[in-house]
Amino acid sequence: MSTLTKKKLVAIAEQYAYAALVAVATAYVAGYTTPSDLLKAALIAILGPLAIGANPKNSAYGVGSKK
């Protein structure tokens, strides 16, 4: 398991925030403007990367990464 430094954690958080922001902006432009719809869009946006990062068998990203 790789060591998570503060720099890595900040980079990870930025990527999740970026994905959520893009999803929320897309949903808003598409006409989904209620706060619950925008929150759903943000949560769905981070589920994919979160699932990939949590997979210990994935040697390229996340928990199983050697980098």
Number of Cβ within 10 Å of residue 13's Cβ equals 10
Encode pLDDT of 42-53 as tens digits.
999 999 888 887
pLDDT < 70 regions, the chain: 1-2, 61-67
- How do the domains of the chain map onto residue ranges? 14-55
pTM as predicted:
0.73
52 token code pair: 């990939």
